[in-house]
């Protein structure tokens, strides 16, 4: 199977570029990466990829994104999914600039080269596993999807199959699907019969062979003290800049924000153009 991916950033700097170059060089032939710069709050980034208009690919979601004031806060799918559809590959990766790996990137991606899951992502939990997730309040689904089937995820690093990308773009035309795409994506995938797996935390969707091997993150028991992948805490240096600051080798870390302010709900769709 062939693999290609999107590297998404809303800031440009020499440090972020060096991080991207390391990703490309160390991935080798495993993943063909494309740099994508989200230059404003909308869904039309600067990139060499030629993709269909997001307002046509995901019309209902795109309209909701505009009402939201931008892609942050749950509508990054309107930016990513049209780009992922444009990639000439079977396995479609998406990674954000603030994801890092404490090791050689090829060691990470090689573990999934022969994996045939349709969705690989992190922090996959059922609604009952985390009742206090703040985005449940805005979630909605068609009547044939029970709330007991609702899932949440954390998607700064994920991989989708082409059939799932296509199915998602069709399904989201139904306005009954509402809310954060970290709800709509895993839930739609699961209830539609696609294979959904956690990359390798300690949650209910993690295969035993990968349990705890890729990252440490939230589980139904709560947030662990040694968390490496989550919403917080923020790390300020990349692995290639200060490897000794990454306490556990061979794990994925998020968020790593070198000279980039961490967004809040008040600033989530504000772009710093300085």
Concatenated DSSP letters for 10-27?
S---HHHHHHHHHHHHHH
- DSSP code of residue 222: B
Q: Note the pLDDT of residue 194.
A: 98
How far CA 73 is from CA of 59, 138, 273, in Å, comes to 18, 11, 20
Q: What is the pLDDT of residue 268?
A: 55
Q: Is there a contact between 4 and 31 (Cβ–Cβ < 8 Å)?
A: yes
Question: Could you give the 3-state DSSP secondary structure of residue 71?
Answer: coil
Cross-strand partners of 121? 198
- What's this model's pTM, rounded to 2 decimal places? 0.95
Check if the beta carbon of residue 235 is closer than 8 Å to that of residue 257.
yes
pLDDT the model gives residue 232: 85
- Number of structural domains in the chain: 1
State the residue range of the domain holding 249.
3-253
Q: Can you give the pLDDT at residue 266?
A: 60
CATH number at residue 228: 3.90.550
Angle between helices 77-86 and 59-68 (to 10 degrees): 140
Q: Is residue 272 part of a domain?
A: no
Residue 198: other Cβ atoms inside 10 A: 26
144 inside domain: yes
In the 8-state DSSP scheme, what is residue 137?
G
Domain-located, residue 269: no
- Residue 274 forms part of a structural domain: no
pLDDT of residue 274: 34
Q: Per the domain annotation, does 126 fall within a domain?
A: yes
pLDDT score, position 262: 75
pLDDT score, position 35: 98
**Model pLDDT, residue 139:** 98
Neighbours of 41 (CB within 10 A): 18
pLDDT at 8: 98
274 residues of the chain, pLDDT tens digit each: 999 999 999 999 999 999 999 999 999 999 999 999 999 999 999 999 999 999 999 999 999 999 999 999 999 999 999 999 999 999 999 999 999 999 999 999 999 999 999 999 999 999 999 999 999 999 999 999 999 999 999 999 999 999 999 999 999 999 999 999 999 999 999 999 999 999 999 999 999 999 999 999 999 999 999 999 999 889 999 999 999 999 999 999 999 999 998 766 565 555 544 3
Q: Is residue 22 assigned to a domain?
A: yes
pLDDT at 132: 96
Give Cα 97 to chain centroid, integer Å.
Answer: 11
> Is 267 part of a structural domain of the chain?
no
Confidence (pLDDT) at 273: 42
Contact 185, 146 (CB under 8 A): no
């Amino acid at each position: 199977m062939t693999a290609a991916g999107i590297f998404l950033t809303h800031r440009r700097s020499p440090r972020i570029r060096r991080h991207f170059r390391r990703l490309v060089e160390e991935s080798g032939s495993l993943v063909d990466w494309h740099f994508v710069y989200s230059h404003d709050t909308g869904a039309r980034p600067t990139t060499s990829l030629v993709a269909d208009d997001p307002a046509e690919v995901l019309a209902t979601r795109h309209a909701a994104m505009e009402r939201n004031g931008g892609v942050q806060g749950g509508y990054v799918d309107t930016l990513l999914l049209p780009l992922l559809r444009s990639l000439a590959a079977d396995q479609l990766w998406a990674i954000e600039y603030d994801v890092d790996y404490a090791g050689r990137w090829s060691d990470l991606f090689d573990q999934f080269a022969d994996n045939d899951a349709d969705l690989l992502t992190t922090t996959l939990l059922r609604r009952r596993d985390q009742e206090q997730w703040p985005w449940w309040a805005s979630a909605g689904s068609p009547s044939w999807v029970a709330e007991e089937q609702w899932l949440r995820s954390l998607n700064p690093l994920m991989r989708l199959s082409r059939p799932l990308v296509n199915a998602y773009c069709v399904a989201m035309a139904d306005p009954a699907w509402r809310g954060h795409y970290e709800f709509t994506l895993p839930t739609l995938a699961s209830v539609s019969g696609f294979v959904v797996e956690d990359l390798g935390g300690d949650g209910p969707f993690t295969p035993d062979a990968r349990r705890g091997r890729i990252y440490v993150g939230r589980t139904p028991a709560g947030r662990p003290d040694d968390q490496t992948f989550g919403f917080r805490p923020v790390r300020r240096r990349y692995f290639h800049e200060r490897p000794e600051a990454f306490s556990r080798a061979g794990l994925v870390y998020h968020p790593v924000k070198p000279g980039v302010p961490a967004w809040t709900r008040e600033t989530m769709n504000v772009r710093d153009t300085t």
